[in-house]
Structure 1
Amino acid sequence: MAPGTTRPTSRDVAQAAGVSQAAVSLVLGGKWRGRVSEATAARVRDAARDLGYRPNLAARNLRLGRTRTVLLVVPALTTEFFAGVYTGAARVAAEHGFGVVLYPSPEGIGPARNPFASAQAALDGVLASSMAADALTALRGDQLPLVMLDSDPAGSLGAATVNLDIADGVRQIADHLLGLGHRRILHLAADVASWTFDVRARALAARVAAVPGTVLSTAAAALAIEDARAATETALSRPGPRPTALVCDDDKLAAGAYKALRRLGLRVPDDVSVTGLDDLALATALDPELTTVRLDAELFGERGMHALLAVLDGRAPDRGDIPVHLVVRGSTAPPSAS
């Protein structure tokens, strides 16, 4: 816009399009469907573009009592998965004129401290990924809308819950290993009190129990490579027949399992097959490359943000878990004859 020119108003757009100001407000606010025709909406958008019209978001936000800012809380920023969640959430937020503040909880899945003097004054809503159901009381307040990601729908404090179909991912892993002929399986479980890891354990146990003659044992480890290495070495050094396959709760645990197997003089997959869950970049850095379940972190963030925007608009969010799928690579094979 040249200096000294007058900024076009919604009345100018209405006159150019031959519609009312109310119609302009509906179209440019994205709430026109079912209230004005598609042709009218197109005329309004064309007129706004030709005039160089931009809505006064500051005045609109003040009128609506909104900051157009949401908070995304994640357990940590030490894995690319949560970076993907943020990327997807921020993309959708930007398309709707919202900003996203990213906040890693200092206590991981534990209670998150409120980073604002008043969250309700600074935020429109909260999107919380992989957090315990009671971890966000300080952030949410009594009125702040909350959508939970990777959380128990039955026990969630959120107005909506968005989940990946983790249980199906674990069933895909179990079916793959059982189909290869594995009957002695070790579950390298994340030593974290979290709904998502409980789901993995239950799904694996149920699938393995359905096949006669199959033995499932468990070793727990913190979500760190060295802890996973130590737990795997201990588990595989126990007396009795050695497991022929390891099911790891995530790719980082699988990397620790690789180190343990090499220290014990065992080969992947000749002596022991290994699977992960996440499909991080780490999965293809390992040798052999890791069989794992791919979780679409960006889609997860997108769906979560769509759900939060629906809650803010008073609409019902879409339901249904996000599908996941197994990526078979070189870390799994039939058990050796020995």
Structure 2
Amino acid sequence: MTTAHPRPTSRDVARAAGVSQATVSLVLRDKWHGRVSARTVEAVRTAARELGYRPNLAARSLRMGRTRTALLVVPALTNDFFARVHTGAARIAAEHDFGVVLYPSPEGIGPTRDPFDSARATLDGVIASSMAADALTALREGGLPLVMLDSEPARTPAAATVNLDIADGIRQATAHLLGLGHRRLAHLAADVRSWTFELRARTLADTLRGAPQAHLVRTEAAELSVAGGLRAAERALTADPRPTALLCDDDLLAAGACKAARRLGLRVPEDVSVTGFDDLALATAVEPELTTVRLPAEEVGAAGMRALLAVLDGHTPDTTTLPVELVARGSSGPPPGNAERPGGN
């Protein structure tokens, strides 16, 4: 008969590391800074790892009045950006013995019903990614700490906000196209009422006002999908004057734009350049690969989880803005040779 080994306790860890149980508690709760030496911290962590120690979460929850569970609300599960946000949040949560429940809100923009109306006590806080300011009324009314990701700080009734530098991403993409010589741009704008897409449109207009020889010849609203991008790009590319570059709010729209160009007998980038936004897996699955703005999705989720943990510990985190990066690939190039001639297509 196999004898079950008793589960190691914090007392066992303390004995193995040669420290007190209080010191073990400080280290494992990440409260050791300024109170325990780095050498002791490493000794405790090594002992815990070698013993296979796992904290008794049920007892800890009763002691702290917490369930150690966070709700992550995202607009959709079909976009790998939000999958990476979840990956980042879950990684930090796991490091602090938290769980993350993932919930997709209807369309990501309308008021979201509270998925845990009858079980609110099972959550410690909420992280919401890329949501409209009024989309989380039900959850806010429950009094749970709320961290908003990719949301307008001035209108966000949240304990903390983590944003991407979306405006700088648009400026980088626009500067890239202008630097290649493009002067006639069209904007394929996601037909979604949210701060992040409104900011993209405003920033593009502001940037082009600073480039007097360039202008926005068209803005085409597009359903946020490849098919939506295809239809919007077809409208833009059959208009007069025809743009030499399409700046798209999302990689899905950009992929659709590339399809539209091919269907119209145009080459990318020789006849029309296309830029995306997000750097989804799709960006390198199309040919030519998309020039796009890379968003650090995992770090957004990680920063959001860190902010929620800080709020739960009684701190007030600063608003975090993460940098973004233009990635130039094959879908952008100089405009066709007759682009600057009056009436040229």
TM-score, normalising length: structure 2 = 0.90
Aligned partner of 1:235 in structure 2 is 236
Separation in 1, partners of 2:108, 2:180: 37
Aligned partner of 2:337 in structure 1 is 337
Comparing 126-135 and 21-30, the one that deviates more: 21-30
Separation in 2, partners of 1:333, 1:20: 65
Do residues 129 (structure 1) and 123 (structure 2) align?
Answer: no
Comparing 203-212 and 37-46, the one that deviates more: 37-46
Consecutive unaligned residues of structure 2, counting only runs of 5 or more, are 339-345
Separation in 1, partners of 2:10, 2:269: 66
Comparing 300-309 and 171-180, the one that deviates more: 300-309
Check the 8 A contact 1:119/1:140 in 2, yes or no.
Answer: no
- The alignment partner of 1:172 has SS state of helix
Aligned partner of 1:32 in structure 2 is 32
Aligned partner of 1:170 in structure 2 is 170
Separation in 2, partners of 1:13, 1:272: 64
Aligned partner of 2:283 in structure 1 is 283
Separation in 2, partners of 1:108, 1:310: 26
Letter of the aligned partner of 1:113 in structure 2? R
CA shift at 1:258, angstroms?
1.6
CA shift at 1:257, angstroms?
1.3
Separation in 1, partners of 2:272, 2:142: 51
CA shift at 1:24, angstroms?
2.8
In the TM superposition, what are the counterparts of 1:1-338 in structure 2 within 5 Å? 3=3, 7-14=7-14, 17=17, 19-46=19-46, 48=48, 53-216=53-216, 217-238=218-239, 240-317=240-317, 319-338=319-338
- The alignment partner of 2:85 has SS state of helix
How large is the RMSD of aligned CA atoms in angstroms?
2.1
Q: Deviations over 1:298-335 (max 9, x none)?
A: 12211111111111112343543111111111111111
CA shift at 1:119, angstroms?
4.7
- The alignment partner of 1:333 has SS state of coil
Separation in 1, partners of 2:235, 2:49: 67
Comparing 302-311 and 145-154, the one that deviates more: 302-311
Separation in 1, partners of 2:337, 2:18: 80
Comparing 118-127 and 201-210, the one that deviates more: 118-127
CA shift at 1:235, angstroms?
2.6
Separation in 1, partners of 2:34, 2:330: 53
Separation in 2, partners of 1:215, 1:334: 16
Separation in 1, partners of 2:19, 2:161: 40
Comparing 320-329 and 43-52, the one that deviates more: 43-52
Q: Deviations over 1:118-150 (max 9, x none)?
A: 353010111111111111121233421110011
- The alignment partner of 1:118 has SS state of coil
CA shift at 1:8, angstroms?
4.8
Separation in 2, partners of 1:299, 1:139: 24
Check the 8 A contact 2:160/2:318 in 1, yes or no.
Answer: no
CA shift at 1:20, angstroms?
4.1
Check the 8 A contact 1:119/1:139 in 2, yes or no.
Answer: no
Q: Label 1:96 to 1:187 Cα distance change in 2 as closer, same or farther (>3 A).
A: same
Aligned residues: 336
Aligned sequence identity (%): 70
Check the 8 A contact 1:181/1:334 in 2, yes or no.
Answer: yes
Separation in 1, partners of 2:251, 2:13: 54
Letter of the aligned partner of 1:207 in structure 2? T
Check the 8 A contact 1:119/1:141 in 2, yes or no.
Answer: no
Q: Deviations over 1:266-312 (max 9, x none)?
A: 22111111111111122122222111111121122111111111111
Consecutive unaligned residues of structure 1, counting only runs of 5 or more, are none
CA shift at 1:79, angstroms?
1.2
CA shift at 1:48, angstroms?
4.5
- The alignment partner of 1:298 has SS state of helix
